[in-house]
Structure 1
Amino acid sequence: WSPRPVVYFAAERPTVHWLTPLVRDTGCGFDDGSSHGRLLIVEAPSITNFMDLASRILRQVERQSPRR
């Protein structure tokens, strides 16, 4: 149904701002998912781009999380 890999998700504005450079730097992009409720879409040219995005998100979260 979609020519490109997509992920629908809900997020508050600060989270979207936090994600924006990671999405951009991995070749992904945001789109409007409001036709499916109050959702956003992240789309990518390939699943490889999504895997890169996921890895970068995890690394960023690990850097920002307090050490136990």
Structure 2
Amino acid sequence: MSILSSIFAVLAQTLSIYSLVLLVRVLLSWFPNLDWSNPVLATVSSITDPYLNAFRGLIPPLGGLDL
């Protein structure tokens, strides 16, 4: 049972880190003049965009806001 709880702990920590990176990506999207070719920003974008693109197809932008 210890192995299973360790797996769940690692999964929970991974999801927590991904949620934090996703929050950073959303907050950075509020600044339109950022240079997304920066290696750090490009990495954040490449990690989070597949997840965000799934919802962009479902929820259309409303008045310039990308919900």
Regarding TM over 0.5, the answer is no
> Greater helix percent: which structure?
2
Q: TM-score normalised to the size of structure 1?
A: 0.30
> Greater strand percent: which structure?
1
Larger Rg: 2
Q: TM-score normalised to the size of structure 2?
A: 0.31
